[in-house]
Structure 1
Amino acid sequence: MARGLQEKVPAESALGFARHDHAGCVARGLGAAEARCAREDLKLTPVRRKVLEILLQGHRALGAYAILDRLREAGFGSQPPVAYRALDFLVAHGFAHRIERLNAFIACAHPETAHAPAFMICRLCDSVAEAPSAPARGRLGEVARATGFRIERTVVEAEGVCPACAGGEAGA
């Protein structure tokens, strides 16, 4: 087994592919954001809250224009800066992540903890699962420490096929 992979990661930590109470998932995500904003005196404006709710409604990454369309349908502004400002806030405070490969955004599955996530992206349906990652403890972290490099941000994105698209076959 490769170094750093000895520890078994629970399947529920990659929530995007697991069957779960999605209404509870949305409620927990909004509740966590509201509680943290109250604690840290952050402004979760109605637009920011709605964008987070939109992102929480599915485990698929959404582009800014798709989010803008949904904001428009909900009666919010229809100019791109409306969506981008809300997304900037959500990403800056760890309530959402930018998926580089898709040029899109997804709600954070673990907003209550500081972490450097890794993403598994289904190439067939674009569903995304977030898994906790610790690159500073893995091989990259070892090399960085050995060279005196300080890692500030990592983006780990793996492309493959999710269980639903693979017909539910494990390991497919």
Structure 2
Amino acid sequence: MSSNASNIIQETQDWLIKAVIGLNLCPFAKAVHVKEQIKYVVSEATTIEQLLENLAQELEFLAEVSREKTDTTLLIHPKVLGDFLDYNDFLELADQLLEDLDLDGELQIASFHPQYQFAGTDIDDVTNFTNRSPYPTLHLIREDSIDEAVKAFPEAEAIFETNMQIMEKLGTDGWEKLFPKK
């Protein structure tokens, strides 16, 4: 792994620890992090086609590997889809790939991006930060892991609203203290 890829993974892990786990934005993330069941992949893709190839490889890997070894994958792609609107459009291709690989219902893809913006929000709305990662990232998740987590956390549907409240309380200043601008 190149030192650049190592730095990208380190920044992503820092974000995961401080934001996702630290702010409890995903109550399921801590367990897989502590058990080292997250696979971090830095894609060298510079085109959508290359990224789709990487995505297919990682989806197939996750479908085949045991949960104990790898429960989830973060496919980080710093060289392609830096524009959020392009990234958002790409998600349709990613979902289609899941279907083409006959993995729809077994795996799903969550999305994180440095410019993430929920529909109906302003670009600088702090609630967007729940899905803002250091680099464009596709989170590959096992459906059965989600089902299991939801059983352990019966009010899973409230996570989204709780996250919005956490971010509003934290504010942009609080976020910038966690992640100072470089």
Do Structure 1 and Structure 2 share a fold, with TM-score over 0.5? no
Q: Between Structure 1 and Structure 2, whose CA radius of gyration is higher?
A: 1
Higher helix share: 2
TM-score normalised by L of structure 2: 0.29
Q: Normalising to structure 1: TM-score of the pair?
A: 0.30
